[in-house]
Amino acid sequence: MAHLSQLGAVTAEPRGARTLGRAYFAAQAVAGAAWWVAVFAVDGVRVATLGGLDPVPLALLDVPLFVVASALAALRVRATAWIVAAWTALVAAGMALYATATAEAGSGAVLMIAATAGTLAAALLSTRGRLPGEWMLIGPFAFRTARPEGRRALLGLTGLQVLVFWVLFLAVIPAAIVWFEHRWRVAIPVPPGVPVAGAVLLVAASTLGLWSAHTMSTLGRGTPLPAALPRRLVVAGPYRWVRNPMAVAGIAQGVSVGLIAGSWLVVVYAICGSAVWNHLIRPHEEADLSARFGAEYDRYRASVACWVPRMPR
């Protein structure tokens, strides 16, 4: 009976995921139809989302390939889900190039990029029943236990990983986002105190990140990257209060960079990063920890929260 109940739980999850994917396509079909009505009825909507582009030829293509195809995907015509995904990605790329070249239709570019991400996720959910997070766990992100190394070597490798992460995800990518945000004219003014609050948050989050990385390296005998996972379960330092202090720190750092730059898109980028990590990476990470450390990790997971710090029971 227990086996049957577990099987039911496993099969129910893809069914619910497919329903969620189809619901997204239904909402997208309605939203797309409403947007096209607004484009032809309200000049402000047309200018903000299409700039100087002629909406008529675009509508002749987009209505069947986006609106109608989304409706068909919601009605379980599975092939149309990938038609919508391909078309949406093509339109997003075109709108991004147009907005970059002309400084027009930035809102349209942002909306289509968001629609591309949503459509791809919905297509995977409606056709596969899940988001295959294992696709991301390749190369340096594949789970491998760290080789026995000396303390100094592990600290050096950890420091290098932290440096690369900070430069890429907290400097290079946010700088590019800010540039596009201003080029596309979608930036929003922020109050003077926001960058100051962001700087305070950045210092606090960076301190937490460095503390967590040092603890992982010295006590866990590993590094933050999955390619050199800790050889010991770490439950000390910041890991006493939250299971994933480095993820908390990284997301807070991303938000703080957005606040400092006055960029709402960078804040969205950080929040989206948290969603990707939580739903695509964390389940695999926790399954790996449970497999390697067994009941010890299961007890730790039951007593310490993933995101909200609290004293262990």
- Write down the pTM of the prediction: 0.87
CB-based contacts of 302, cutoff 8 Å, min separation 6: 313
Q: Please, which residues have CB within 8 angstroms of residue 209's CB and are 6 or more apart in sequence?
A: 162, 245, 246, 249, 250, 253
Going from N- to C-terminal start, the domains of the chain cover 2-131, 135-303
What does the DSSP assignment read for 123-134?
A: HHHHHHSS--GG
- Which pair of structure tokens corresponds to residue 109? 């570019």
Q: What is the pLDDT along the chain (313 residues), one digit of tens a residue?
A: 333 333 333 333 567 889 999 999 999 999 999 999 999 999 999 999 999 999 999 999 999 999 999 999 999 999 999 999 999 999 999 999 999 999 999 999 999 999 999 999 999 999 999 888 777 777 777 777 777 777 788 888 889 989 999 999 999 999 999 999 999 999 999 999 999 999 999 999 999 999 999 998 888 888 887 777 888 999 999 999 999 999 999 999 999 999 999 999 999 999 999 999 888 888 888 998 999 999 999 999 999 998 888 765 5
In sequence order, the β-bridge partners of residue 229 are 145
DSSP secondary structure letter of residue 279: I
User: Distance between CA atoms of 72 and 81, rounded to whole angstroms?
Assistant: 8
- Amino acid at the residue 243: R
In contact, 208 and 249? CB cutoff 8 Å: yes
- Helix, strand or coil, per DSSP, at residue 235: coil
| CA angle (92, 250, 264) in 5-degree steps | 45
| 220 and 234 Cβ atoms separated by less than 8 Å | yes
Taken in order 129, 133, 139, 143, the sign of the CA dihedral is negative
230: burial class by Cβ within 10 Å (0-12, 13-18, 19+)? buried
**Could you give the C-alpha distances from 185 to 55, 67, 297, in angstroms and in order?**
20, 27, 48
Question: What tens digit of pLDDT does each residue of 126-159 get?
Answer: 999 988 877 777 777 777 777 777 778 888 888 9
Kindly state the helix (H) or strand (E) to which residue 200 belongs, with its residue range.
helix 193-220
Other CB atoms within a 10 A radius of the CB of residue 220 amount to 20
- Nearest CA to 188 among 249, 280, 259, 117? 259
135-303 CATH fold: Four Helix Bundle (Hemerythrin (Met), subunit A) (1.20.120)
Asked if 240 contacts 305 with a C-beta cutoff of 8 angstroms, the reply is no
d(CA 29, CA 239): 44
Q: Three-state DSSP class for 247?
A: helix
How far lies 60's CA from each of 27, 28, 174, in Å? 20, 17, 36
Measuring CA to CA, how many Å separate 126 from each of 20, 47, 81, 121, 299? 7, 34, 8, 9, 35
Tokens found for residue 286: 């926790």
Q: Residue 176 corresponds to which amino acid?
A: A
